[in-house]
Amino acid sequence: MSERQIEYRRLGRTGLRVSPLCLGTMNFGMTAEEPEAHTIMDRAIDHGINFFDTANTYGGGGRTEEIVGRWFQGGDGRREKVVLATKVYGGRDPWPNTSRLSARHIRAACDASLRRLQTDHIDLYQMHHVDRDTPWDEIWQAMDLLVAQGKVIYVGSSNFAGWHIAKANERAADRGSYGLVSEQSLYNLNARMVELEVLPACADYGLGVLPWSPLAGGLLGGALAKSEKGRRSSDRMQASIEANRTKLDAWEKLCTDLGVPPADVALAWLLANPAVTAPIIGPRTTEQLDGAMGALDVTLDREVLDQLDRIFPGPGGTAPEAYAW
């Protein structure tokens, strides 16, 4: 383990303790081939990261879960050290009932993920999107059965609106179920809409918040200085850079003045929010993983936080005050 002492955080209202950075695996099998992915997971454990996130659709048809599963088979207590999160909703097969959140698909998808991951349980099983066609009673019937069978320990959500979180947990409470314990949302300095209702709902119902795309796809990682390199040179990223150039100029100047890499400041800003449990980082190399760990050493004072609010103004606070008065 690295010399840095990680302060583990409770996941929402649960007693489960997870690292303040979550290792996202979406690049495994895509831009990080299996040997590099295994090295990244080894390094994550060395750093004290115990929280890994994946999904049944990552890598195309579950390849990413398979890569993680083969890494677990390397022994040395790897599976026992990891709080494993995966997701259910999507499916590549166009045949009916091979996607979304019917009870049938939830149960079948869970069994398929367990086979690919080569484990007997999933610590955090997340609904990747809301399914407006499936009643909550049906969803909780399926999830409660998986919990009773020992295949799932906790249930979370991803990409839910605030009212979805409220409705899901109220229905769970009516059934005597534990309900959602986490929400994985798009959240970064340049995408702050969840501050209106999602974050307040999570705080009220005791859900941990797991921000995905904490660097806005690289936009907050020093995009101006690196605009000609790698994925930042793509037409899409170049268009995003131009659309946000004024903000990025001020952002990168502030980071330079602080003497801290922009990516570290972006992660530290999320970590300073008590609603946030662990931003999800998606390194493609061990060097990127090592670099992300620097965010844990960054503390942003009130003056810097205020400057960041001026550069990247959010929606104005929580609803309804943000827009009603």
Query: To 10 degrees, the CA torsion angle through 151, 144, 51, 116?
Result: 40
130: helix, strand or coil: coil
313: helix, strand or coil: coil
Looking up tokens 């609010």 gives: 309
As to burial, measured by CB atoms within 10 angstroms (0-12 exposed, 13-18 middle, 19+ buried), residue 6 is: middle
Cα three-residue angle 90-103-175, rounded to 5 degrees: 120
Phi and psi torsions of 182, nearest 5°: -155, 155
- 89 tagged catalytic: no
Measured distance CA(52)–CA(82) in Å, rounded: 7
Q: Report how far apart, in Å, the C-alpha atoms of 310 and of each of 195, 276, 307, 313, 316 are.
A: 16, 21, 5, 5, 11
262: helix, strand or coil: helix
Catalytic residue among 58, 154, 178, 187: 58
Q: Which pair of structure tokens corresponds to residue 29? A: 């099998």
Please state the three-class secondary structure of 194-246 as a single string.
HHCCHHHHHHHHCCEEEEECCCHHHCCCCCCCCCCCHHHHCHHHHHHHHHCHH
Q: Please, what's the largest Cα pairwise distance for the chain?
A: 57
Looking up tokens 């990025």 gives: 248
Measured distance CA(103)–CA(96) in Å, rounded: 13
Measured distance CA(50)–CA(202) in Å, rounded: 22
Residues β-bridged to residue 126 = 87, 156
Annotated catalytic sites, by residue? 58
